[in-house]
Chains A and B, each alone.
Chain A
Amino acid sequence: MTSLPQPAKGATKLGLVIDLDTCVGCHACVVNCKEWNASGHSAPMTDQDPYGSKPDGVWFNRVHSYEAGTGTQSRTVNFPRSCLHCETPACVTVCPTGASYKRAEDGIVLVNADACIGCKLCSWACPYGAREYDSDAGVMKKCTLRIDRIYNQTLPKHDRTPACVSTCPFRRPGRPGQRGVAAGGRAWRVRPDAGDGLRAHQQIPAAAPAHRIVAAAAAAPGRNRRRGGGRAAARLGGPGFVAVKQEKTLLFSGKRALFSLD
């Protein structure tokens, strides 16, 4: 199966931070992602039976809307779900051909379509359902963190963001040294000694009710440090935020689906 790279000392690790408290489930990130990728390296984003009774297409980002809690404590949770670019991605280690791989220089998980045999082991291995099989092309596709734009030096720095980030109506203003700013969320650079957990993904205020802690995949609190910015490290697990490791059980148990692209 496929080995994970040994990250170079000081290498950047990229991830995406999404604030579930500000996401309203508008799907702008979902559509903008599909539009960008339908015009680029991952094209086509094939749609089967697009005008029929069972349309089924390739999407790198899907929003799942759940309801949790009862009575006045109930909340609607909109959960944008794209690839987490995990620290130890099961989709890579399970790949028999090396088609799925994790980049040493920035941690982005990609698929080399030329080497993919369409066996779908990675989609079985991914705990989030973030893999997208294009049955027409016979290859697996996935979120690239818009790698074909975030390194484009001809663009102003604030435009070098993933499609989901750039279109989010609730994204927060960027700060120097930040890679991207998103759904109320941010793409962070994380130090390579961040620990063995999954990549930091969801930014959750400490005061949030427990049911909002959905898919908070994070490394050990206090060890993730944002690079750049020239200030003392802002910690994902620092003041005002908690990081939670129990992402799988929290994500898929005790929630009632309301409406989802699935």
Chain B
Amino acid sequence: MALGFPRGPEDLMVAADGTPLRLDKAFSWEAPLGLHGMMHTVLANAHAGDPYKIDVLFMYMANMAWNSSMNPGEATRMMTEKDPATGEYRIPHIIYSDAFFSETVAFADLILPDTTYLERWDCISLLDRPIGSAHGPADAIRQPILAPDRDVRPFQDVLIELGTRLKLPGFVAADGSRVYADYKEYIWKHERKPGTGPLAGFRGADGAGDGVGAPNPGQLDAYVANGCFWRYDLPHEQGYFKHANKAYLENAVRLGMVGTADQIVLQLYSEPLAKFRLAAQGHGPVQPPDRLRARTARFADPLPIWYPPFEEEMEGAAAYPLHADTQRPAAMYHSWHSQNAWLRQIHGQNSLFIHRATAEGLGLADDDWAWVISRNGRARVQVRLMEGVNPGTVWTWNAIGKRSGAWNLADDAAESRVGFLLNHVLSEFLPPDDTGKRLNADPMTGQAAWYDARVRIEKAAPDEASETVPYPAALRRPKGMAAAPSILRYNASKAPTP
């Protein structure tokens, strides 16, 4: 029932010789429990042809040339580097879909302009990250409220179309005819297993089914009539101790949320991790490559363990005495494109926040310029002093910095001139050791170690107090994109006339 959760080495996505099947190496011995996927490894692996060469890199909603990469300078180098032997790009083709002129658009061979959320159907499904709560399951839809005024197409429609034209299983019937006209039809018609689909509400021919039921052609209409969501309120006696609540578990089976009503045993001793450790110790038919054997045996510990972050155990770590991390400003959460004309007035530039005592020890005052230096690189940033941070930690807002010219902002917008990414001093890799190339990630889940970064701070010279570094050249506005307006007067026509 649990989607994609490996129960042991037999569930890994590896070839007989242990080679990863996925480009990002998730669910391989590099990251056996890589449930989130490993976006941070995709570009580097495609560039290196490791574990295999690819022809087309197809990306959506991931700004890999900028804030979604752990090292944007390296990422853009890998996207543009050519193989001297053939004169071809090492990543031969890049297709990218975005609704906005993000930094990554400039690196694509083919751009598929996406719609915004206001111009398409979507579902916020129980199968993904729904809107439910402890009080009961709930899911929701989005419906288009604007007709697109430009040549764009919902990315999900594009995927349905591609799947159909490539005659992928599930997209065409036995006679070769298409199954789904578009994503809107997919939402109500698709069944992951009989009776279970993207939306849990208003299922069945009569639309009365909760959780499970046959596909209902009127399902989306029913959602719209119900305010675009569905919610099932659990009876009060089912609201507690759900893993061992008989009434809840039986109801959950009826709603299609779990397979059986057996008590869910919470594992303190993790049986799946023990299986990976046993494999590393030589047991069983599915074996790790020898170079990862010791690592797997150490970290696939069935009991909770703590160990120092890899960066802190490396030689020379003392030269980088400070932790560096980031957080997303609350105002920017769920703002897919990271900024807009309103939000950029709230967070239009970022500073590096340093504890007052730490900063004063470095001779730094508010708005001074300083270098953040890590084992990977240097960035020049403006600093702010604060009390409410650990003296050994510096932090900044995430993804406020933009590349000059991107997002149709003025070349001298604060986001590019002063705003910065801490990403420039990070890397998706640790220096290689005797196990070979090492990911800067959790060894079991593959989660990128964004927060393990170690840095030191040095005050910038007086003649360096100008703009942030790195400050890559401004991107040129794409052909056909109009210049940004100099003033916004939304709904001016509604204002009372004098």
The distance in angstroms between the C-alpha atoms of A193 and B170, with both chains bound, is 72
A24, A26, A52: which has the most chain B beta carbons within 10 Å?
Answer: A52
Assuming A47-B487, A49-B487, A75-B388, is B342 touching A34 (CB within 8 A)? yes
Q: Does A154 contact B (CB under 8 A)?
A: no
Q: Are B387 and A70 in contact (CB under 8 A)?
A: yes
A-B contact pairs, 12 of them (CB 8 A): A27-B329, A27-B331, A31-B331, A34-B342, A38-B490, A39-B491, A44-B490, A52-B412, A57-B341, A70-B356, A258-B353, A261-B345
Assuming A51-B413, A76-B388, is B492 touching A44 (CB within 8 A)? yes
B residues in contact with A38, CB < 8 Å? 490-491
Q: Are A258 and B386 in contact (CB under 8 A)?
A: yes
Q: Are A53 and B485 in contact (CB under 8 A)?
A: no
B383-414 to A contact mask, C-beta < 8 Å, 1/0: 01011100000000000000000011110111
The distance in angstroms between the C-alpha atoms of A25 and B35, with both chains bound, is 32
Q: Are B345 and A113 in contact (CB under 8 A)?
A: no
Q: Given A27-B331, A27-B346, A53-B412, output 18 extra A-B contacts at Cβ < 8 Å.
A: A25-B330, A27-B330, A28-B331, A30-B331, A31-B343, A34-B342, A38-B490, A40-B494, A43-B494, A43-B495, A48-B487, A49-B487, A51-B413, A53-B413, A67-B386, A74-B388, A113-B495, A136-B487
A residues in contact with B488, CB < 8 Å? 44, 46-47, 50, 57
Q: Are B485 and A51 in contact (CB under 8 A)?
A: yes
Chain A interface, >50% SS class: loop
Q: Are A46 and B388 in contact (CB under 8 A)?
A: no
The distance in angstroms between the C-alpha atoms of A34 and B341, with both chains bound, is 12
A232-262 to B contact mask, C-beta < 8 Å, 1/0: 0000000000000000000000001011010
Q: Does A69 contact B (CB under 8 A)?
A: yes
Q: Are A258 and B384 in contact (CB under 8 A)?
A: yes
The 4 closest A-B pairs by CB, nearest first: A74-B387, A51-B484, A26-B330, A27-B331
Q: Which of B329, B387, B489 is close to A44, meaning CB atoms less than 8 Å apart?
A: B489
The distance in angstroms between the C-alpha atoms of A25 and B356, with both chains bound, is 22
The distance in angstroms between the C-alpha atoms of A47 and B490, with both chains bound, is 9
**Closest CB in chain A relative to B295 CB, distance in Å:** 40
Q: Does B436 contact A (CB under 8 A)?
A: no
Q: Are B491 and A30 in contact (CB under 8 A)?
A: no
A47, A70, A113, A136: which has the most chain B beta carbons within 10 Å?
Answer: A47
**Closest CB in chain A relative to B140 CB, distance in Å:** 17
**Closest CB in chain A relative to B248 CB, distance in Å:** 25
Q: Are A26 and B331 in contact (CB under 8 A)?
A: yes
A residues in contact with B387, CB < 8 Å? 67, 69-71, 74
Q: Does B417 contact A (CB under 8 A)?
A: yes
**Closest CB in chain A relative to B358 CB, distance in Å:** 13
A residues in contact with B342, CB < 8 Å? 31, 34, 47, 57
The distance in angstroms between the C-alpha atoms of A57 and B412, with both chains bound, is 19
B residues in contact with A24, CB < 8 Å? 330
- In chain B, positions 463-498 with a C-beta closer than 8 Å to chain A are 484-492, 494-496, 498
**Closest CB in chain A relative to B387 CB, distance in Å:** 4
Q: Does A45 contact B (CB under 8 A)?
A: yes
